[in-house]
Structure 1
Amino acid sequence: MRGGALAILLSMLISSLGVPARADPLDLHPSICLDGAAGMVEQLARSAYSIRGCATPPRTDGWVWLHLSDPSVLKDLPAGWALLLDENRFDRITVAATNSDGSIQNYSYADGGVGHDWAPGGLLRFAFDSPGVEISSLSIGFHHLDGAIFIRKIEARTPDEEAARSMAWLILTGVLIGALVSAMVYNMATYNGRRDRFQIWYAVWTVLTLGYCLSWTNFLGLFDDRLTGPLAVRLSDCFLGATVAAGTMLLMTLIEFQARHKYLLWTGYVLTVLSTLSGFAAAADTLLPPVWTDHVLNAVLMLDVLWIAATSAFAIRRRSRIIWFFLLAWMPVISVFMLRLARNMGFLPQSDAIDMATFACIAFEAIALSVTVAYRLRDIGRARDRAARAMAVMQTEAETLRRAAMTDHLTQLDNRAAFQAALDQADPLTTLLLIDVDHLKSVNDSYGQEQGDNLLRHMAMRLSQIVPDGTALARLGGDEFGILVSRPVEQVLLERLDALQGEPWSQSGRALSLWFSVGQAECNGSPVSAMHRADRALYWAKQRGGGRRQSYTAEFDHADNLAARLLADAPHALAAGEFTLYYQPLVDLKTGRQRGNEALLRWNHPELGLLAPPDFQILLMDETIGPRLQDEVISIALGALSDVGDGLAYIAVNFTGVHLRGAAAGRHILNRLQEAGVPPHRLCVEVTEGIALDHASDEIAEALHVLHTAGIRTAFDDFGTGYASLVHLLRFPVDIIKIDRSFVRQLTTPARNAHEIVRSVISLGKALHKQVVAEGIETEAQAAILRELGCDYGQGYLFARPGPLLQPPIYWPIRDESHEALDDAPRS
């Protein structure tokens, strides 16, 4: 039998050597009708194969017949054409063709033996001597067929086409066998005194894979014809289940110990048993329903694919190196196996291309896995470690130079301005993450400001350790950090951030846990909108108790509705006088006398209560409502100045870039002063350094010059926390420099360079003939240090909290305390 099969195969290959361009094979599905037991046609109706019923009563004799209803479709086939069928499981098969002269050519096999009528690629082949034009009828009968849904291929090919197809399968199978044998030999040759378990499982997997490939493709028929037909189907099911089980064990033993997950390991053992059992169950068609066992086998295979994905994701999260080589080997095979599953379950039509791609990918997988097993973490691991260390050194040096210009003084990360520059240049596919450290205020209140600063430093260090290379990381101020991460490494970073939640850390003998909230948004749209979306997601995460990550989704539509409501309510609120100003005194630190007030805008909303500017920031930035609201603020401030008289030097009013666009905006403010009869020197226009980063910064500078020339004072708020502050002092007319509260807060903490920073700002202000105001003064100790450093003015809770009424000038008595008393002063 083996000699006959070889002779047939050789003759086909020789005849194919001169094959010209071939036509597509003739698919007979549309011309076939099915005559079988009840339920057979319904099975086909749920698949992708268009075989209709023959409109005959259901059969009860166990036979399933396929009849060619339109023999004319065969008219172009020459003599010797071949009918190709998928291998199935049956007791008997009969194939008969009736010629126009009444002669019949038929094939009939019993007990599963198909003789030499098998073909490479897992098919049965029946050749007919008469040309297709002489065929008047064609019938194919199966006795006890395992299921109608397994009738996937019914096609006719010319002799040349079939010979070429067989040659392609022979070449592919030869390459596959060579790859499997050479890969296993190479693996077994890598021997270091003992066999690791993953090497043994690789050898088992190779042998089983070879058995599966030979049984499925029918090449076991070269050794014995009885190993084809229904027996080949049963053998391939057994080999497939065992091969998947061996591959599962190979992955579990191949990845590094620290990259394994306990529950995933136990799941892998269960899947190993299920894969083996489901393969043998699918082969036991005489004992179990073949349709259902086939579905179970396919379901187990899909579960195994999901398990590989979960195991790989966890290994990647644990920084496994070997997993990448494993995925490189498995991904092509998994991809084509998913196509095969779709084909087997009737969602895709039968195709040699899918099957040939499967075995080509298995050949690639065998070689790639052999290399992976042979090298493990030995040479590749050492080389990757050396490269990683060298890259880390170079990146550290480059990062050090880059950070010299824009660095947060507390954490040594980029500051807000540097992050803003990166955000302006970010790709739309980049993801923005805003991170807020939870419970920082509680840490400050319970353990002191020093411990809170240590928490921020520790958070900065851990973030620096887990962000991928090339990722922008910055401290944006207070307890907030920002990250810009590219899409390819986004998932890796998110997994690392999730793993960081609750991580223990200790400082000064106190054990605490690291908890933080994360807001996530895509960088599509403008940088302002991206920050807004991420900030809203962060707000939602904190509202839910913190310690979680939240993406910006459609769930935040209600916030958009609120913003729309505020925009809609604003005109009525302006008309009804719902906006008011709260005032906080500014005190001369040398004399204790009040010199002015900062006006802080509030909205007494009739339903939402008292709102601060952050609650209705959208109004301030709106091109229509913003200027009207600014006019209202000016009106209230000028009215207050008129009521109080000359007792107070000035009121400082906060302006945004929207309200200072060009010289016309400056002249508008001057006209308002003239109408109210208030001298220009009694108004101070207060802006943050952020206006320098505004796209209309030139127009803003023009407006400030108009105001400054007329005698209106200009103050820079939060000086030193932004970008290129000295450049701002050259571009903008500045009369007052306000030291940010973050520097003032650290004046009473030991081992801090805040003293030198504040001293430098004060010295700079005096050298440039600017007044210096310190914000956020909360203790006598801070006020005393600022006086000692030469600061002119101060404001903060120490003197007064913001209130709705503009009080008459206050006097704050100066306390004469020693330096030691200052050191012991309470800290805020």
Structure 2
Amino acid sequence: MFKGALAILLSMLISSLGVSAHAAPVDLHASICLDGAAGMVEQIDHSAYSIRGCGMPPRTDGWVWLRLSDPSVLKDLPSGWSLLLDENRFDHITVAATNGDGSIQSYSYSDGHVGNDWAPGGLLRFPFDSPGVEISSLSIGFHHLDGALFIRKVEARTPDDEAARSTAWLILIGVMIGALVSAMVYNLAIYDGRRDRFQLWYAAWTVLALGYCLSWTNFLGIFDDRLTGPLAVRLSDCFLGAMIAAGTMLLLTLIEADARHRRLLWTGYVLTALSTVAGFIAAADMLFPPILTDRLFNGVLILDVLWIAATITVAIRRQSRIIWFFLLGWLPVISVFALRLARNMGFLPQNDAIDMASFACVAFESVALSVTIAYRLRDIARARDNAARTMAIMQTEAETLRRAAMTDHLTQLGNRAAFQAALEQADPLSTLLLVDMDHLKSVNDSYGQELGDNLLRHMAIRLSQIVPDGTVLARLGGDEFGILVPQPLAQTMLERIDALQGEPWSQSGRTLSLWFSVGQCDCTGSPASAMHRADRALYWAKQRGGGRRQPYTLEFDRADSLAARLLADAPRALAAGEFVLYYQPLVDLQTGRQRGNEALLRWNHPELGLLAPPDFQILLTDDTIGPLLQDEVISIALAALSTVGDGLAYIAVNFTGVHLRGAAAGRHILNRMQEAGVPPHRLCVEVTEGIALDHASDEIAEALHILHTAGVRIAFDDFGTGFASLVHLLRFPVDIIKIDRSFVCQLTMPARNAHEIVRSIISLGKALDKQVVAEGIETEAQAAILRELGCDYGQGYLFARPGPLLQPPIYWPVLDESHG
């Protein structure tokens, strides 16, 4: 079957090559009449095809006959001429020609069994042996024809003319198949990455276009002659509907998203479905009236063309770049299909040129769309490259921001957020260390912020150098660092960090020491609880003087509970007068006579007993209770001074920075002394270096100057333990310098460094005309050394422990040989 069809096509091609001219085809429309059921003639009358009725009564047997009324129109046709008919849908067809001698040549086929009597261009061909001049009658009968309206081509052609026509179709279809296949292959090969939707729709459109062209033109008959005739008509309807739907979706997906109109988008989806359904309905002539379904199909195609025009217009207005390529490919197709639509609806006569132009335009469209897709892919590739570059930049920026968000800008270590993230992933057996530098505020205030920052950087470098691999190190803020050590490396880290204590550091001609406090705990429990335990351990290390590492113990929890209880009890205790002052005598080391007292706060708690300041330190630093407690101390001290005679020179009271903020604070203290009847010279205001280095030190200095001018004594406590003592001796009106007990307790030890430090402080005080007081004297030997070094006054357990105000003042006998 395949070989036979191919042989026919080849013979047509060969015969056409040897023919130089061809006779014009004979149009039989004017020479035939229509004999059929009622309504058939009326269908033809409303079309562009002029077929008159035969004047016979309407047939009732389901047959429609075309009868040649003027056989003379065939007289110029040679032997082998062919009768050509449009393919239509029918159950059975019969074609018969009667010769002058009465012989008959006839053809009879049923639906699906046309055999090799098909011709390229969607025609049925019936060749006749007798020349046209011998034909006396010609009849063409259709049983159950789908409609007379579809009888568009009835013509006779000479063998040479038919061969040339078939060859033209053969060449056209070959070119069309080559264009479609090569364009699709190019489309599939042009981009081997992820397929875009429009590429898939283009592949679908190409396959459907190929199926439509091959079915409509009868070239499927090469493979199986059953695919010609009525079945070819049905297949072409299905392929055409699906091809139009695929083209609609191709346009929807091909143009840029910002060039689409939302309503047209959804309308396109609806038309896609309608085109597909209408094609299949038009093919179902056994279920629906063919005339109605054909007009419905053509109506849907008209709507689709209008939709394409509207979509293209909107895309142009929205400055689509791709739509011009699409428009270039579709304008010829739309124009020719519009002509075919007019021809199918009977407004134009049947013409091979229109049909051939249609498929030539399909071939052109496939190439144009392939180029369009290539351009679109290039556009998308550029957009993807730009997006990839933008994404890479964004990722780099995000990574930079993430690192910045997780990095401390001063030390370039991880910050609190990074450390918290590491802590959340830490093994419970890991060791957590919180490191807080001692005296950093003093360094900042004494030498400037730059030196303090450099000290922090140096500390970060030294910690980075000693932490083992696998350890997390971060600056948590201020002067605090966090270290997270895996359990196997913990002991090594602890030894290294202990060895770092007191390490000297030189900067800008100054030498300082790395002193820091360390809170230590394990990482069991939640990250928040681990941080809380380490912070409590760090607090206790600070409370014990700093410069040490403190592991966490359960005692800290009990201390926290006690602190909470004390905070709750404090308001009641203030109202009940439970806070009292104990006094420690200040003794003249040369005469042994008492010259004053230092007031020391005690809490006579009804349940916990007598508590010293270290026991309720939490109250002194509380923003609410602290100021109230300071007021109570001042009130008790002034009351004591007002009841003690002038024989006791003065009482020294420790003041917080809150009560020394500005001139108004100084005048307020003087007013209270006046109200209590206490002369200014009988009060000594003691300030520590921590108070002097407060961020409001200028205001504190102003208050101290007012008090000093009025006659109040000013004492500088814990002298020598900080960074800025000498500076503040110039800034503040100091009368008394108090040597810290940490130097006094070392006076009797073998090393003589303490002697030189104390001697220097005493000499400095004498040179500045300041009184010098040594704190923490516990032995006769210490007192003798201090007296020998020229110290003026002393206080400590050697003379008396803190207690109620003594009446009369104590006397301590001076033993010159005590240090013997």
TM-score, normalised on structure 2?
A: 0.46
Question: TM-score, normalised to structure 1's length?
Answer: 0.46
Q: If you compute each CA radius of gyration, which structure gives the higher value, 1 or 2?
A: 2
